[in-house]
Structure 1
Amino acid sequence: MLRAIGLIELNSIAKGIEVADNMLKTANVEVVISTATCPGKYITLVHGDVSAVENSIKSGKYLGGEFVIDDLIIPNVDEQIFPAIAGTSNTNQIQAIGVIESFAIASLIVAADASVKAAGVELVEIRLGSGIGGKSYVIMTGDVSDVSASVEAGVNAIKETGNIVNHIVIPSPHPNFRKMLI
């Protein structure tokens, strides 16, 4: 069964905590992450069936009001997204590397989902805002053509938001660097 995810990113920790509680009370969703991030932002990422996620996000956006920075709903999220966020991806081999870096957490998740759906890449990691000044990034691996196509798809998915910091493709990373990523 395909599941949906939704995320709200706020620029107030206190309001973020209140919104997270409200999101759970509004709809039958489960929390994936609900935490403060840098620099003083708060995110709540939920999953569930599409209508429940839509209702939860709608309620959160209404209550969050002026404190909402960004939000997303992805109806059929790729199964690689959750382990990449949790840091439990089971990548055994690093080939070419692609990285997309974003100013916003929600935009980065949209880019990561678009990237992995575009071509045969594996997500190595999705880092969401903590300890890196509120930026987020995704690292993916695969053959050079797939990584290039995936990075392009991810960037295209969010280019109009203005949240892209940078993106790169490394066709042949150094063997010692590959070991660091696994």
Structure 2
Amino acid sequence: MELRTIGCVELNSIAVGMHAADEMLKAASVELVMARPTCPGRYIVVVTGDTGAVQSSVQVGCEIGADMVVDSFTIPSVHRDVIPALSGTSSLVKVNALGVIETCTAASCILAADAAAKAGQVHLIEIRMASGLAGKAFVVMTGDVGSVKASVDAGVHGVGDGGPVLSHVVIPSPSEALKAQLF
């Protein structure tokens, strides 16, 4: 499945999240990328399809979720590294400088990751969403120092009105022991 447009709704209720996921899939011709509970008792739904269908699906999810919606978005042309990083299937690459962006919501972390990947010559290593993180999320990327700095800055700004960025860092020359913990 080649993903071009993705949409996401993150909710503060697992039950409402499951209902929203079902209605999102019935509302438009979209494919389910992910629908699962996250910490702390949240639920995230990610769909793909044509831009109009994804926008309609996300709108329905937000209507069903109402005041339980934590965050949502539609990305019309998602970067090719986002889904592998999200699903833990990124390919092993040489780790140079590291960039990390930590956000308050899983949805805002996906926005940050997409903006970061589009801004520079970086490789997304991982997008970790909310599992064991009290609802927070983070993205880890690598590349040369200049690219990582530019990408982290773009990712921080790419969150826009979504959940706030809690912290971000560029590590110019990570230790071998830290690198070994990334994969």
TM-score interval (norm. to shorter): over 0.9
Partner AA of 2:155 in structure 1? G
Q: Secondary structure at the match of 1:181?
A: coil
8 Å CA contact 2:3–2:49 kept in 1: the answer is no
- In the superposition, the TM-score normalised over structure 1's length comes to 0.96
**C-alpha distance in 2 between matches for 1:56 and 1:116:** 25
Q: Report how far residue 120 of structure 1 moved.
A: 0.1
Aligned to 1:87: 88
How many residues get paired? Answer: 182
Tell me if the contact between 1:27 and 1:55 (Cα under 8 Å) persists in the aligned partners.
yes
> How do residues 64-79 of structure 1 correspond to structure 2 at under 5 angstroms?
64-79=65-80
Q: Is the 8 A contact 2:3 2:48 kept in 1?
A: no
Report the residue type matching 1:152 in the other structure: D
Residues in 2 aligned to 1:111 and 1:167: alpha-carbon distance in whole angstroms = 11
Relative distance call for 1:67 and 1:160 in structure 2 (3 A) is closer
Q: How far does the alpha carbon of each residue in 1:12-49 deviate from its partner, in whole angstroms, 9 at most, with x for none?
A: 11100000000000111111110111001111011111
RMSD: 1.3
Q: Distance in 2 between matches of 1:162 and 1:11?
A: 13
Deviations 1:75-100 (A, max 9, x none): 00001001000101003210000000
Task: Answer yes or no: is 1:50 the counterpart of 2:51.
Answer: yes
| Counterpart residue identity of residue 69, structure 2 | V
CA distance in 2, matches of 1:72, 1:160: 10
Q: CA deviation at 1:103?
A: 0.5
CA deviation after TM superposition for structure 1 residue 162, in Å: 5.3
Change (3 A) 1:44 1:69: same
SS at match of 2:135: coil
CA distance in 1, matches of 2:161, 2:62: 21
Taking the aligned partners of 1:168 and 1:91, their CA distance within structure 2 comes to 21
CA distance in 2, matches of 1:17, 1:159: 26
Larger mean Cα displacement after TM superposition, 38-47 or 156-165: 156-165
Tell me the residue number matched to 1:116: 117
Look up the match of 1:60. Answer: 61
Contact 2:24 2:58 in 1 (8 A): yes
CA distance in 2, matches of 1:159, 1:80: 20
Which aligned pairs between 1:99-114 and structure 2 lie closer than 5 A? 99-114=100-115
> Match for residue 135 of structure 1?
136
Provide closer, same or farther for how the CA distance between residues 31 and 162 of structure 1 changes in structure 2, counting only shifts above 3 A.
Answer: closer
- Give how far 1:156 is off: 1.2
Take 1:158 and 1:33, find their aligned partners in 2: how far apart are those partners?
20
Distance 1:17 1:115 in 2: 30
Distance change (3 Å), C-alpha of 1:139 and 1:31: same
Asked whether the 8 Å contact 2:108–2:163 carries over to 1, the reply is: no
